Structure 1
Amino acid sequence: MAKGKDRKKEKKSDKPKVILDDEDMEKVIAFEDFKLEVQSIIDELKNDLKLNYNVRLNPRQIETIEINYDGVKVALADIVTVARKQQEIVINMAAAPNALKPAMTALMESGFNLNPQQDGTIIYIRLPKVTTEHRETLIKLVKTAGQKAKDKIKDRNFHKKFYHKGTDTKKLSQDLLSDVSANMNYFIKQQNSLIDEIIKQKTDSLINN
């Protein structure tokens, strides 16, 4: 029972004693800008998970693979046509035959477990079978992507960009500075909990699909 009570106290202590509104936060930090940047990190994570971490390969994942073409890095979709036909992805390289070799190399090194086969200016990719090992690898990668997003949001050097430069903290009350710090920590914990939920939903979908 004592342990349970301790856990409850710990949860309550996560919440700041004084909840500041954005106007008070802005006296010390560009809080609106910070929140927008954090939201951008979370949106980027969502898009990354949707596009790159799926049990079944999405043709868009192939389209975004970058290759070296005439000394410039370009996405496959910028120079050729990528299409899905039943259990295959077909890449028509007729518009850029010189890109065949770098395209084959990029596909094999993409990390998507691909085995591209060339026939003239056409590249065929048989969609990989869905295995337990494949699902487990994806889940590990998803958790890693989530942790990277959380680490970025928690990074103190990232936070420093938003604190007002040249602000004379001596003119601000220590209570305000302490409350701003507590509110920042609370906001960051909330966002990390949101990321945990996003990762859970994604891993659940990888297990069940």
Structure 2
Amino acid sequence: MQDDLNLILDDATESMKKAIGHLESELTKVRAGKANPQILDGINVDYYGASTPLNQVANVAVADARTLTIQPWEKNMLQPIERAIIASNIGLNPQNDGVIIRLFLPPLTEERRKEFVKRVNGEGEQAKVAIRNIRRDAIEAIKKLQKDGLSEDTAKDAEADVQQMTDKHIVLVDKHCETKEKEIMAI
């Protein structure tokens, strides 16, 4: 019985950590004014009929604070990369000079910064919902164990542990969102 309880708590902890990890990866994709190659993560290029991540067909580098350069390993990949960037709807126009693609990141307007903050808060809210769903599943599993013979006191203690774990991870989500918001709003 105790082993099952520990397994439930460990699974909940692991799942909550994964939710935080997912939030962190999503927040790196939100542009904060300075060039960051990670804003191109998730863009796939048509590479000889196969959808391939951009970073597997080209070298992505930061030229300066507001410029990304994309150097394809094969010259014939310039057009597909350019099309993929335009189709990804990240708000950047690729400049193709026949050898390299440059992405110039314009300075963010106040309105655009507020849009990005809303997006960050939306990602944070999704992470909180995921964490609360993990809490709900863990508490349901604990109640099922209680029906199978786990003592009521042990079940209540385990539920309190799950709630404490949930609160800790919700605070982490808030901290991540707050940090990203400060980064976006900094001029």
Aligned to 2:80: 102
Check 1:94–1:205 CA distance in 2 against 1; reply closer, same or farther (3 A cut).
Answer: closer
- Please list the CA deviations of residues 39-64 of structure 1 after superposition, one character each: whole Å capped at 9, or x if unmatched: 22213322432354422231232365
- Give the stretch that moved more between structures: 65-74 or 133-142: 65-74
1:25/1:194 CA distance change after superposition, 3 Å? farther
- Secondary structure of 1:68's counterpart equals strand
SS in 2 for 1:61: helix
Letter in 2 for 1:195: V
Q: How many residues matched?
A: 185
Match of 1:39 in 2: 17
Unaligned runs of 5+ in 2: none
1-structure distance, mates of 2:6, 2:147: 8
> What TM-score, normalized by structure 1, do the two folds share?
0.72
**Secondary structure of 1:92's match?**
strand
Measured in 1, the distance between the counterparts of 2:147 and 2:7 equals 12
Are 2:93 and 1:115 equivalent residues in the alignment? yes
Q: Which structure 1 segments of 5+ residues have no match? A: 1-22
Alignment of 1:71-86 (within 5 A): 71-86=49-64
1:206 lines up with 2:184 in the alignment: yes
Percent identity at matched positions? 24
Structure 2 CA distance, aligned partners of 1:63 and 1:151? 24
Q: What is the Cα deviation at residue 151 of structure 1? A: 0.7
Larger radius of gyration: 1
**Paired amino acid for 1:103:** I
CA distance in 1, matches of 2:39, 2:67: 14
Pairing partner for 1:191 from 135, 152, 169: 169
Cα RMSD, aligned residues only:
3.1
Given the two structures, how large is their TM-score scaled by the length of structure 2? 0.79
Structure 1: 4+ residue segments shifted above 6 A: none
